[in-house]
Amino acid sequence: MELGFSLDDIASTLAEIDFYIWLVQSWNPTVQKNAMEASAFKAMIGTGLGSERVALSVHLVFGPEPVPVLLGALTRLFNLIQRIKMAATYKLIVGKELGIIGTQSTADSDEPDFTVITERGTTIERVKLTFTRYSHGGVTVESRRNDSDWEFLGIVVTKPW
């Protein structure tokens, strides 16, 4: 079915979304994690105890970066979806095939739901956090060790964390 959009429109939008997905799934979580580690390292060097010298942690490493895009990638995507939905030949089945008709939950909550598990790796244990944000833009993650004060770890928008 012809909707009246050029292949260039679709290809450029897909490229922009590839970059945005990389940004959200790779770059942003890595930068957040390393910022928290840098703060912890700085605090440890400044006020920590011990008789050993500590080397700097590993520097940031990212996967291959897609081609950078202009600002407003999501806005352009939403505008393209709106134009597709307003095309004279658009039908609901076309929207489902294109993936622009979602399965939105009508459930809403004042508080996100969390599931926390501990995973044992070959050398370390780690905590894995999954959550449902509902209509919230993200969740704030805090932690405390023993009975000390709560510490801010970050604002998370992707799961698991």
Both 86 and 16 in a single domain? yes
> Phi/psi at 49 (nearest 5 deg)?
-115, 155
The pLDDT score that the predictor gives to residue 19 is: 87
CA–CA dist 39, 43 (Å, integer): 6
DSSP state of 57: P
Both 12 and 53 in a single domain? yes
Both 120 and 87 in a single domain? no
Both 1 and 22 in a single domain? yes
Domain boundary among 63, 83, 103: 103
- At 89-114, the pLDDT tens digits run 888 888 887 778 765 554 556 677 77
Q: Which domain holds residue 153?
A: 105-161
- At 110-130, the pLDDT tens digits run 677 778 888 887 888 888 888
Both 149 and 93 in a single domain? no
CA–CA dist 54, 57 (Å, integer): 9
Q: Is the peptide bond before 29 cis (omega within 30 degrees of 0)?
A: no
Q: Which of 15-19, 42-46, 77-81, 106-110 has the lowest mean pLDDT?
A: 106-110
User: What number of other Cβ atoms are within 10 A of residue 159's Cβ?
Assistant: 14
Both 6 and 38 in a single domain? yes
CA–CA dist 22, 4 (Å, integer): 29
Both 85 and 113 in a single domain? no
Could you tell me the two tokens for 12? 């450029």
| pTM (2 d.p.) | 0.49
| Number of domains into which the chain is organized | 2
Both 86 and 149 in a single domain? no
Amino acid type, 66: P
CA–CA dist 8, 84 (Å, integer): 15
Domain boundary among 103, 123, 150: 103
